[in-house]
Structure 1
Amino acid sequence: MTVATPMEKHARYELVVGMEVHAQLLTRSKMFCRCSTDYAGAPPNTRVCPVCLGMPGSLPVINRAAVEATIKTGLALNCEIAETAVFARKNYMYPDLPKGYQISQFELPLCKNGWLEIELEDGSTKRIRIRRAHLEEDTGRSVHVGGYSLVDLNRAGVPLLEIVTEADINSPEEAYAYLTKLRTILRYLGVNSGDMEKGALRCEPNISVRTLEQKARGEYGTKVEVKNLNSFRSVRNAIAYEMARQIALLEAGGTVEQVNMGWDEAQQRTVLQRSKESSHDYRYFPEPDLPPLAVSREWVTEIAATLPELPDAKRARYEREWGVRPVEARILTDEKLVADYFEAAVAAYGTEAGKPQRMANWMTGEFFRLLYADGEGQDLRQIADVKVQPHQLAALLKLVDDKTINANTGKKVLQIMYETGEDPQAIVAREGLAMVSDTSVIDQAIQEILEANAAEVARYRAGEAKLFGFFMGQVMRATRGKADPNTARQRLQELLDG
């Protein structure tokens, strides 16, 4: 009897994931009242009012800015924008839900039937369908300390945009690519910070597996929702773990139950939280204190006119108009702040053939190395705080181009610029770093090196051509890296062969 290997068992199943993302919108006031959304560091329960506390007689008023941010996001995600959207009460009891219900949207969301195209590791693309994107209010926070559970309602009522995909994601890597792309778009639009560690962006994958026979019949497995995920890496790991858990359970003759699981980061495993509610458990009904939201086509057109150039379009423009390679174009457009910096630097440097690519090389190479070394983790948004201004980086590249300094010296100058914010011209003048092109000076250095290394010269002339690199290194060291490499290489070759 042949026993199937774990890989063979996995091959009999397809992973199916639908993603729910909750994004806090960057509005100044809450969804239905004037309380500030800036609750970070505020004493507990100080950013509240009768409306967000659900006091009798208080009435909600829709935040126009939150609606506009949702429409803007829906347009960026290729959604249909509803002409009429209806808010609904989602009824459930929890300590951090002061009203006993959450105002959300159910049957008539603001945005629906969209899609987002992601790029996979092999370079291919895949379209992930967006089922809906709707507005709701955030809940408060439960804080568990010393055996007590405390409630802070400062967050209650903050505008939330919930974005729900169809079950189109079929691997942990696809989930990671989708979330990364979505966060990039939200940041480009300026509607969400993307900070998962601060709770501004929360992801809850609904994970199931099905046999290939079920797939052929159009059937799905039982889904499990995973919560408490604080990074995209955690999402990827949780999906991989839950897939393996469900397959092992089914292979052993068991069944998957529809439950909510939490992610234990320390143990790298999912743990049971509670049975999962279905929509009828929430007893949705239209919010009686809010009229239907009418969205005119003129309003949508006005909002569409404010959309920025999105990352895919920006990346294509860099490649098409500036000749930037796809790899660098992708890196430079992943964060809007980086793209803005790059464009400002190119504007100061020039768009002639090859120049944008040279700027891209410097930014994604030495500049990013300094940026990563200076910060915590690889968060390119740190570029907003660097001392080197785009026009200064352009000035540095011009010094390299006109051979005032060579590329190696340019890296040293950039290091000083990064630390001090000085102009490159001032650093080169003060440190005496200008490149030496005078052949008499270079010849003198070469002669001294050849005389001091007579044995190596003899070996080179006997056929050990690899020693040329040794001599070249000695020349650059003797001139403190300031010799023009091309001139030095030419003169060294002539003097060695002479």
Structure 2
Amino acid sequence: MAEYEVVIGLEVHAQLRTRSKLFCACSTEFGSEPNTNVCEICSGMPGVLPVVNRKAVEYAVMMGMAVDCIINNDSVFARKNYFYPDLPYGYQISQFERPLCEHGHLDIPVNGGTKRIGITRIHMENDAGKNIHSAADNASYVDLNRAGTPLIEIVSEPDMRSAEEAVAYLKELRSILLYLGICDGNMEEGSFRCDANVSLRPAGQKEFGTRTELKNVNSFRNVQRAIEVEIARQQDLLEDGEKVVQETRLYDAARNVTASMRGKEEAHDYRYFPDPDLIPLHLEDGWLQEWRKALPELPALRRTRFMEQYGLSVQDAELLTAERELADFYEAAVRHGGVPKKVANLMMGEFMRELNERRISVNEAAMTPEAVAELVRLQEEGVVSSKIVHDIFSDLFTSGSMPEAYVKAKGLVQISDSGAIETAVDEVLAENPAEVEAYRGGKTKLMSFFMGQVMRKTRGKANPAVVTGLLTEKLG
């Protein structure tokens, strides 16, 4: 890719985690029966008057503050006019010339350092409904449950130069939304989704190339794959002397290709105009001060603190601070006496594996931070081995049992008495004379065989360090 430079900008839509919609009192609950969370306002009945949701405004402003945007005390809602079957008004209520937040930035981790990505604007808008196409019925249906749910659109500058940078930006953005508690970040359900604008230009050229837009890609992995495929497609066109057409394209994950959805003019004619039913939005300075005070410690600051305070690596700190609940759990375990690095290792290994396999969040786990700290302490003190920790972790995770009581009740306390272990070692060596002779003849890899035999005799309870010492001594 030395011949061309990749230019990427992202438009991210995040559904705000309010109980009601942006301009009415209907529920935003996901998964309800079709067309049950609908009223005259969100279904676009003639003569209805929308009323803005104050909590949605607060959440939008908090996101703007978190990425160092200028917060405009006065902003205006606009009608974005276009026709689509799931858009009951015949227009979308959005913001255009005077958005809520402007001119921010987000620093993303790149190659061990950071890169600053500009954020053009953050504005509010209401979501459309959902079209449902049934091949069996040979018909299409419209579900308006989602119509009117509050969104913020976060528009980046075209500052990203690779698919990896785009994914890093998305992950950092999602992490901030989760820390603020204003979006659940669920890409599969569409509450966090993005459109990627991708173009190529000759290396060293300042003018941007013709861009294409990739719509609504629903996972970080697919975002990366879609952008990489589109980059390769555009490069092939340019190298063959053809032109890239400005258009909207959809990514087909099964075939790993992008396909044209619709052509795009140089500029959309949405005929924006101020919404006459909504007065300009005015924010009092007191509200802004109150909302700024409510901001939590954000992921980047917490990541840095974890490295400084707990001696964690960049990679460990990034993983443990990706979600606020996970970082809170980790710190709680450390406060209960867990050695920071040992707690980190256990959480990034066994703990995360259980969460992923069961597809649950940290808050849904029965295991407590106190239990993690206690398990780390038991291993540090030699009460249990790493093998036993691995063997019992799933039971501890699902039952919520405290580890010390559990291992005592199950008779799993590690044997560290050298006399008892020596008896087992002597028996193993006596039962395997050929292997002993082979080891002494130079086949030192048999040490793992002897270790396994001793562990089998002691039902995995022998202290591995003591076993290794005795075997080394007796085998010569």
User: Cα distance, 1:263 vs. partner?
Assistant: 1.9
Aligned positions of 1:168-317 closer than 5 A: 168-212=159-203, 215=205, 218-276=206-264, 281-317=269-305
- Paired position in structure 1 for 2:460: 481
1:37 aligned to which of 25, 28, 32? 28
* Structure 1 residue matching 2:23: 3-state secondary structure: coil
Aligned positions of 1:81-92 closer than 5 A: 81-92=71-82
In 2: Cα distance, 1:98 partner to 1:494 partner: 81
User: Cα distance, 1:126 vs. partner?
Assistant: 1.2
In 1: Cα distance, 2:12 partner to 2:72 partner: 20
* Residue 18 (structure 1) aligned with residue 9 (structure 2): yes
User: Cα distance, 1:182 vs. partner?
Assistant: 1.0
- Paired position in structure 2 for 1:144: 133
Choose 259-268 or 272-281, whichever is displaced more.
272-281
In 1: Cα distance, 2:445 partner to 2:37 partner: 71
Choose 150-159 or 273-282, whichever is displaced more.
273-282
- Paired position in structure 1 for 2:342: 358
In 2: Cα distance, 1:123 partner to 1:436 partner: 43
* Structure 2 residue matching 1:281: 3-state secondary structure: coil
In 1: Cα distance, 2:465 partner to 2:261 partner: 67
* Structure 2 residue matching 1:22: 3-state secondary structure: strand
* Residue 47 (structure 1) aligned with residue 31 (structure 2): no
Amino acid at match of 2:198: I
Aligned positions of 1:375-454 closer than 5 A: 375=358, 382-454=361-433
Give TM-score, length-normalised by structure 2: 0.93
Task: Work out the percentage of aligned pairs sharing the same amino acid.
Answer: 49
User: Cα distance, 1:326 vs. partner?
Assistant: 2.3
User: Cα distance, 1:465 vs. partner?
Assistant: 4.9
User: Cα distance, 1:62 vs. partner?
Assistant: 1.1
Aligned positions of 1:41-80 closer than 5 A: 41-42=32-33, 44-80=34-70
In 2: Cα distance, 1:133 partner to 1:19 partner: 12
User: Cα distance, 1:18 vs. partner?
Assistant: 1.2
- Paired position in structure 2 for 1:4: none
In 2: Cα distance, 1:454 partner to 1:143 partner: 72
- Paired position in structure 2 for 1:3: none
User: What CA deviation, in whole Å up to 9, does each residue of 1:88-126 have, x standing for no partner?
Assistant: 111112211111111110011111111111112x32321
User: Cα distance, 1:296 vs. partner?
Assistant: 2.7
In 1: Cα distance, 2:350 partner to 2:264 partner: 49
User: Cα distance, 1:280 vs. partner?
Assistant: 5.6
The 8 Å contact of residues 209 and 221 in structure 1, kept in 2 or not, is answered as yes
* Residue 99 (structure 1) aligned with residue 89 (structure 2): yes
User: What CA deviation, in whole Å up to 9, does each residue of 1:62-102 have, x standing for no partner?
Assistant: 11111100011111111111121111111112211111111
In 1: Cα distance, 2:117 partner to 2:410 partner: 55
* Structure 2 residue matching 1:196: 3-state secondary structure: coil
User: What CA deviation, in whole Å up to 9, does each residue of 1:217-237 have, x standing for no partner?
Assistant: x31112211214222222222
* Structure 2 residue matching 1:204: 3-state secondary structure: strand
1:27 aligned to which of 18, 34, 53? 18
Amino acid at match of 2:203: L
* Structure 1 residue matching 2:295: 3-state secondary structure: coil
* Structure 2 residue matching 1:53: 3-state secondary structure: coil
- Paired position in structure 2 for 1:126: 115
User: Cα distance, 1:327 vs. partner?
Assistant: 2.1
In 1: Cα distance, 2:358 partner to 2:474 partner: 47
In 2: Cα distance, 1:462 partner to 1:211 partner: 65
User: Cα distance, 1:277 vs. partner?
Assistant: 5.0
User: Cα distance, 1:201 vs. partner?
Assistant: 1.5
User: Cα distance, 1:461 vs. partner?
Assistant: 5.0
Q: How large is the Cα RMSD of the aligned pairs?
A: 2.1
> Structure 2 vs 1, CA of residues 289 and 424 (structure 1 numbering), >3 Å: closer, same or farther?
same
Choose 307-316 or 415-424, whichever is displaced more.
415-424
Choose 98-107 or 268-277, whichever is displaced more.
268-277
Amino acid at match of 2:469: Q
In 2: Cα distance, 1:265 partner to 1:46 partner: 32
> Structure 2 vs 1, CA of residues 198 and 409 (structure 1 numbering), >3 Å: closer, same or farther?
same
In 2: Cα distance, 1:496 partner to 1:341 partner: 46
2:311 aligned to which of 323, 326, 342? 323
> Structure 2 vs 1, CA of residues 486 and 132 (structure 1 numbering), >3 Å: closer, same or farther?
same
In 1: Cα distance, 2:267 partner to 2:454 partner: 76
The 8 Å contact of residues 325 and 357 in structure 1, kept in 2 or not, is answered as no
In 1: Cα distance, 2:354 partner to 2:268 partner: 54
> Structure 2 vs 1, CA of residues 127 and 49 (structure 1 numbering), >3 Å: closer, same or farther?
same
In 2: Cα distance, 1:279 partner to 1:173 partner: 28
In 1: Cα distance, 2:273 partner to 2:348 partner: 52
In 2: Cα distance, 1:241 partner to 1:248 partner: 11
Amino acid at match of 2:209: G
User: What CA deviation, in whole Å up to 9, does each residue of 1:168-206 have, x standing for no partner?
Assistant: 111111111111111111111111111121111221111
In 1: Cα distance, 2:454 partner to 2:236 partner: 65
> Structure 2 vs 1, CA of residues 430 and 111 (structure 1 numbering), >3 Å: closer, same or farther?
same
The 8 Å contact of residues 39 and 47 in structure 1, kept in 2 or not, is answered as no
The 8 Å contact of residues 33 and 52 in structure 1, kept in 2 or not, is answered as yes
2:150 aligned to which of 116, 135, 159? 159
User: Cα distance, 1:489 vs. partner?
Assistant: 3.2
Which structure 1 segments of 5+ residues have no match? 1-9
In 2: Cα distance, 1:234 partner to 1:334 partner: 19
* Structure 2 residue matching 1:54: 3-state secondary structure: coil
Give TM-score, length-normalised by structure 1: 0.89
User: What CA deviation, in whole Å up to 9, does each residue of 1:9-65 have, x standing for no partner?
Assistant: x432211111111111111111111111115222x3222222222222211111111
User: Cα distance, 1:242 vs. partner?
Assistant: 1.9
The 8 Å contact of residues 445 and 479 in structure 1, kept in 2 or not, is answered as yes
* Residue 108 (structure 1) aligned with residue 105 (structure 2): no
Choose 103-112 or 396-405, whichever is displaced more.
396-405
- Paired position in structure 2 for 1:370: 354
The 8 Å contact of residues 22 and 160 in structure 1, kept in 2 or not, is answered as yes
